[in-house]
Amino acid sequence: AQKVTQAQTEISVVEKEDVTLDCVYETRDTTYYLFWYKQPPSGELVFLIRRNSFDEQNEISGRYSWNFQKSTSSFNFTITASQVVDSAVYFCALSEWDDYKLSFGAGTTVTVRA
Amino acid sequence: NAGVTQTPKFQVLKTGQSMTLQCAQDMNHEYMSWYRQDPGMGLRLIHYSVGAGITDQGEVPNGYNVSRSTTEDFPLRLLSAAPSQTSVYFCASKQGAADYEQYFGPGTRLTVT
């Protein structure tokens, strides 16, 4: 069975600080896919990134960066120079090979104070 | 494209009442699913469908029914609402299996009193 753990329940930072969100996953498959979603206070779920298990190259997109390490089963997400608009709940999710289902972590609430 | 739409946005039910949450997508996606979101628990899968006429149970299916008569629609039925079903419900769709992005509807906030 697949499982996603986001140990951080809430993180509060002051604007311009960096924020790193931890995600640890469990799966028996060798091929799987990892996702991050953002849920702002308005409630919709916004797709941020997808990574497959064969691509450990870390990625930077603007102020966002992702660190995927298979050796530790982690897929961490960093917001650099945080802004108030980054305040949201962030979800890590996992999907196994040839499986339609997406398993979510409990989410981490990020609050960025001005 | 409207994407994934859900109605209603808000609903209050009394214990024992029944209702149907509507979900539709206009992207011709084969896969559709329903999740519920509760504080501290993330999103949990209720039911899913891999195509018209095919449905299956997810992690928390009790108290809910689904059907998929068309590719576009995937309604979720609460047969006899209970306070434990107070939650935010999200419908989602995706084009294919594991690596495809899942698109979510705006959610329905349901309160059962």
Per-residue pLDDT of chain A (114 residues; tens, 9 = 90+): 569 999 999 999 999 999 999 999 999 989 999 999 999 999 999 999 888 888 877 788 889 999 999 999 999 999 999 999 999 999 999 998 877 789 999 999 999 999
Cα–Cα distance between A58 and B45 in angstroms, integer?
A: 29
DSSP for A77-112 reads EEESS--GGG-EEEEEEEEETT----EE---EEEEE
Mean pLDDT of B26-50: 94
Nearest Cβ partner for B98 among A6, A47, A98: A98
Cα–Cα distance between A31 and A70 in angstroms, integer?
A: 11
Closest alpha carbon within chain A to B9? A43
User: How would you classify residue A26: left for phi > 0, otherwise alpha for psi between -120 and 50, otherwise beta?
Assistant: beta
Q: How confident is the model at residue B1 (pLDDT cuts 50, 70, 90)?
A: confident
- Distance between B101 CA and the closest CA of chain A, angstroms: 7
In Å, what is the CA distance from B35 to each residue of A9, A26, A36, B85?
20, 21, 16, 12
| Contact criterion met (CB < 8 Å) for A104 and B90 | no
Report CA A37 to chain centroid distance, whole Å: 7
Report CA A72 to chain centroid distance, whole Å: 15
Is residue B79 within 8 Å of residue B18, measured between CB atoms? yes
- Residue A83 carries which side chain, given as an amino acid letter? Q
Residue A111: beta bridge partners?
A12
Nearest Cβ partner for B98 among A4, A96, A105: A96
Pairing of strands B87-94, B108-112: antiparallel
